[in-house]
Amino acid sequence: MEHLPNMPETLASFHSDLNRIQTMAGTLAQLERQHYNDLNKYEDQKLASIAVAEQGSARQLGEIKQLCIAMAQKIEEIQQTTPGK
Q: By the 8 A CB rule, do 82 and 43 touch?
A: no
Q: For residues 57-83, b (16+ Cβ closer than 10 Å) or e, as one string?
A: bbeebbebbeebeebbeebeeeeeeee
The predicted model scores a pTM of 0.82
Per-residue pLDDT of the chain (85 residues; tens, 9 = 90+): 456 678 889 999 999 999 999 999 999 999 999 999 999 999 999 999 999 999 999 999 999 999 999 999 999 999 898 765 4
Closest CA to 22 of 69, 70, 59, 74: 69
